[in-house]
Amino acid sequence: MAEEIDLEAGEASAPPASGGLLGLAANALAAIGTIWIFAMMLAIVADVVGRNLLNAPITGVAEVCARSVVAIVFLQVSSAILSGRMTRADFFVRGLERATPRLMALVDALFSLVGAAVFLAILYSAWPDTVGAWRGSEYFGVQGVFTIPTLPFRAIIVIGSGFAVAAYLAVAVSHLSAYRKARP
């Protein structure tokens, strides 16, 4: 799959990243998110310049940027999971890792399974709103001033959650494999 946890050395490396199709897709989503951040920064700067120097703000920048932050997080979360960049309490993890690397692999697997369950719950709760946005042509903004469809933003949450579930499950399988291979 990718990097294995080095339990014989007594230290675990970063959680294994998927080098396969899942890793490629997660990195592609993260790249889209990064490009989106750059475009969002340009729009904000243009809005500030237009607002302060030309007295002509760009309509809708605040609304689109507010929704974009959430979308960008969901685009980039699966890549963060696969590369081991999700936040955790290192002071606890490092001590446990040194004392019992095998137990740490089990804790990491459990953490990954809980993470998969959380993102599955997010996917499950976001799905009906996404379908409703598709069927009802849902928009946000001020009608007559600025509106934008909610479907792309809602779909990104569903897609990002699905990839996060897959990423956490791949990491959990890898940690469980490391647990089985480690000496007791």
pTM of the model: 0.84
pLDDT, one tens digit per residue, over 66-115 is 999 999 999 999 999 999 888 777 777 777 777 787 888 888 999 999 99
Residue 129 one-letter amino acid: D
Q: Is the pLDDT of residue 16 over 70?
A: no
Phi-psi region at 141: left, alpha or beta (left = phi > 0; alpha = psi -120 to 50): left
List the structure tokens of 139: 């928009």
Q: How confident is the model at residue 6 (pLDDT cuts 50, 70, 90)?
A: very low
3-state secondary structure of 149: strand
Residue 97's pLDDT is 74
Q: What is the CA radius of gyration of the chain?
A: 21
Which is it for the CA torsion 20, 26, 30, 33, positive or negative?
A: positive
